[in-house]
Structure 1
Amino acid sequence: MERERIRVLIEQAKQAWLAADGEAFARLFAEDGLFIVPGQRWQGREAIRQAVEQFGENYSHIKIDLHQIAIDGERAVIEWTWEDFNKSTTKRTRAEDAIVVDFSNGAIRRWREYIDAETPKQPD
């Protein structure tokens, strides 16, 4: 898979999260794709779509700052900073996020996130 195609898919994933668009995010995955975050796992486009839409029901004002993408063959490692607003608690959360994404046949086969919401932000 071409490096530029991988970058495009990652940008599309970012945009889907910003819009809380579960359909757009799920469409990037293989039919039996796997989406994993600490403590949770969803397999298949429909489960992934529902997970993102449920997130969107509970959170808003998502902000993603993409720091870097490293690509090796059909694998990419992404570092981004994620911020969101919990609608029920009115709390804003910020986390550093490393994501390993495996691709196959032009789609995401596995998206695995390693989220750090505890390390203090380094001053600018």
Structure 2
Amino acid sequence: MWKKNKKVKYNKIMILILGGISVIVINIEKAITTPDPVIMSNIISPVLIRSLIEQAKDSWINGNAESFAALFTSDGEFIVPGNRWKGQQAIKQAAADFANNTSSVKIEIHRIIIEGNQAVVEWYWEDTAKVTGQKSPADDAIVIDFVDDKIKRWREYIDTKTPLSNSTQKG
């Protein structure tokens, strides 16, 4: 009788433990898969992110430094290899300087990957130096952070050695 009661108690304890574990697992799964309304309220829509990227592209093509800078937060950062500008005014000046020295900017977006408030853009870029007439093709990967419907940080990684759209590869 004593062994039977001990076995019953053991089984009840195991049922309670396993039941508790399953409740914990269910709650963890729910926490992982249920979006936090506070976090979700700060997520910018992918449609808006794509629109901002298209506006940036158009600003470069049209040489419109003011419209490019307006896409950034007041303390936004624009970073390219060797240079970093912080704030809308500095970004506007950098874009204006570029527009004054180049012409015929062409941009082909190859892909945009969006996750939360970040995007990675891969595009082909080509411009022509006004003084020399030399074309400068490049493949460009850009990592962009967004805050409150604006660009907080724009970081470019530029490949001028092997641009795909200007490729003469033999395959």
Normalising by structure 2, we get a TM-score of: 0.70
* Count of residues in correspondence between the two structures: 124
* Correspondence for 2:85 among 17, 42, 62: 42
Provide structure 2 residue ranges, at least 5 long, that are not aligned to the other structure.
1-43
Which range is displaced more, 69-78 or 87-96? 87-96
What is the aligned-residue identity percentage?
51
Q: Which residue of 1 aligns with 2:97?
A: 54
Which residue identity is paired with 1:54? Answer: D
Q: Which residue of 1 aligns with 2:74?
A: 31
Highest RCO, 1 vs 2 (Cα 8 Å, sep ≥ 6): 1
Q: Distance in 2 between matches of 1:67 and 1:73?
A: 20
Normalising by structure 1, we get a TM-score of: 0.97
Where in structure 1 do 4 or more consecutive aligned residues deviate above 4 Å? none
CA RMSD of aligned residues (A): 1.2
Report the structure, 1 or 2, having the larger strand content.
1
Higher alpha-carbon Rg = 2
Q: Distance in 1 between matches of 2:152 and 2:162?
A: 29
Task: Flag the 1:101–1:122 CA change in 2: closer, same or farther, 3 A.
Answer: farther
Instruction: Tell me the SS of whatever aligns to 2:51.
Output: helix
Q: Distance in 2 between matches of 1:88 and 1:29?
A: 30
